[in-house]
A and B are shown apart, each in its own frame.
Chain A
């Protein structure tokens, strides 16, 4: 936890304008200079894999990502009554989408598992429920900005903290949360499972949005 505090303080001490100009510089540059700064022991889970897929079409990285996420995505697609054969096909399409959209992933705003979840969820709505999924308008700065490595690390730490908080919930409540995301719970039932520990991750994302909006003014 000490590491988390240290990085948060570093971030807080940096005035927004200087960070903003950094962001603009990265945008204009090669966009690769921050990747090499990753410490081996603080490497965010799977972010490096996605980068290797994006930059080098690295099939080894993809195979590892596949081994971890495909069985989870298949499980997600089968819940709520999905057929195993269709779930298998849809999972392969989800994984192919991750390859094709690797350049759209922004690790300063989401973890890889969050990104995989959103792609799988959209596949479930599109293919299994046969509906369009209206998505929020893309932000004007787009995903091409190479994010600050410190932002990526903090997002990873917030994600881990959220994971711990969820796994520490009383079992009944944790089951409800899983059912809300995996089953077909109505939104009135979902009302019972809100009040999740979202404080830090929410303010983290809000901060990233504010800072980027400021940078683009």
Chain B
């Protein structure tokens, strides 16, 4: 098990458990949790809160034939189909991410965004966006602030900024208050999953180089 030093916040874990976050955030969180036992335990704890809230909540009466209808549905549907094996995916692509990219990180169809940096946008619901970022070893991403919340999960390689070092499995949670200059570690090219709920409407108004790092 890799040593993961940068984890999710309680707000994000609770939002994931409650089911109120945009799909892109759920993707980054599920991918991190797949790599991090501490956050997995935290998610299951917040699920337990959800179970307790459900146990204690007010009830709404079901229709008279609801049970009979459900049993009929069960008999009609038969046993659940076995879950498809996921053994074909690459070792450094956790299962939740594998549903959004085809094959390994080496097969991603990258689009250049300048200075050797490349990105691939992943298809999620529109309230937030997700993309893979490819940052060549030693390359600095231009100084940038954040609109909204941005999560950056390292999948391969590492990056550092003024304060911290982020290796595989580490997730950086940045908010509007944060401004930084991430630099890919010199040792290897860095691939990250980055998600943000920043608004998309300013696209095209920003300098070409900085744009991909501010928002898609």
Could you tell me if B14 and A180 are in contact, using CB atoms closer than 8 angstroms? yes
CB < 8 Å: which of B20, B30, B63 contacts A135?
A: B30
Q: Which residues, 187 to 217 on A, are CB-close (under 8 Å) to B?
A: 187-188, 190-191, 193-196, 198, 201-203, 205-206, 209-210, 213
- Segment of A10-18, A19-27, A29-37, A64-72 in the binding face: A64-72
- Which residue on chain B has the smallest CB distance to residue A97? B80
- Size band of the interface chain A makes with B: 35 or more
Contact with A along B3-24 (1 / 0, CB 8 A): 0000000111011011111010
Could you tell me if B47 and A118 are in contact, using CB atoms closer than 8 angstroms? yes
With both chains docked as a complex, state the minimum distance between the C-beta of A79 and any C-beta of chain B, in angstroms. 8
Q: A41 near B: Cβ within 8 Å?
A: no
Could you tell me if A134 and B37 are in contact, using CB atoms closer than 8 angstroms? no
CB < 8 Å: which of B49, B51, B79 contacts A116?
A: B51
Q: Which residues, 29 to 61 on B, are CB-close (under 8 Å) to A?
A: 29-31, 33-34, 37-38, 40-61
Specify which chain A residues have a CB less than 8 angstroms from the CB of B95 in the assembled complex: 135-138
- For the residues of A in contact with B, the DSSP-based class is helix
Complex CA–CA separation, A196 to B201 (angstroms): 37
- Segment of B67-75, B113-121, B157-165, B182-190 in the binding face: B67-75
- For the residues of B in contact with A, the DSSP-based class is helix
Could you tell me if A70 and B66 are in contact, using CB atoms closer than 8 angstroms? yes
- Which residue on chain B has the smallest CB distance to residue A121? B19
Could you tell me if B62 and A71 are in contact, using CB atoms closer than 8 angstroms? yes
Q: Which residues, 123 to 139 on A, are CB-close (under 8 Å) to B?
A: 124-125, 129, 131-138
Could you tell me if B10 and A121 are in contact, using CB atoms closer than 8 angstroms? no
Complex CA–CA separation, A103 to B184 (angstroms): 45
Complex CA–CA separation, A74 to B59 (angstroms): 7
Specify which chain B residues have a CB less than 8 angstroms from the CB of A149 in the assembled complex: none
Specify which chain B residues have a CB less than 8 angstroms from the CB of A63 in the assembled complex: 67
Complex CA–CA separation, A137 to B74 (angstroms): 27
Q: A113 near B: Cβ within 8 Å?
A: yes
Specify which chain B residues have a CB less than 8 angstroms from the CB of A134 in the assembled complex: 23, 26-27, 29-31, 96-97, 99-100
Specify which chain A residues have a CB less than 8 angstroms from the CB of B25 in the assembled complex: 187
CB < 8 Å: which of B21, B62, B69, B100 contacts A187?
A: B21
Could you tell me if B20 and A184 are in contact, using CB atoms closer than 8 angstroms? yes
Could you tell me if A186 and B96 are in contact, using CB atoms closer than 8 angstroms? no
Complex CA–CA separation, A129 to B26 (angstroms): 14
Contact with B along A74-104 (1 / 0, CB 8 A): 1110100000100110011101100111000
Complex CA–CA separation, A211 to B125 (angstroms): 37
Instruction: Please judge, given known A-B contacts A66-B67, A205-B44, whether A177 and B49 are in contact too, CB under 8 Å.
Output: yes
Q: A162 near B: Cβ within 8 Å?
A: yes
Specify which chain B residues have a CB less than 8 angstroms from the CB of A109 in the assembled complex: 44
Instruction: Please judge, given known A-B contacts A109-B44, A181-B50, whether A99 and B74 are in contact too, CB under 8 Å.
Output: yes
Q: A120 near B: Cβ within 8 Å?
A: yes
Q: A38 near B: Cβ within 8 Å?
A: no
Could you tell me if A114 and B74 are in contact, using CB atoms closer than 8 angstroms? no
12 CB < 8 A contacts A-B: A74-B62, A92-B70, A101-B80, A110-B44, A116-B51, A122-B19, A134-B97, A135-B96, A137-B95, A187-B12, A205-B40, A209-B37
Partner-A contacts on B (CB < 8 A): 1, 10-12, 14-15, 17-21, 23, 25-27, 29-31, 33-34, 37-38, 40-63, 66-67, 69-71, 73-74, 77, 79-80, 94-97, 99-100, 124-125, 149
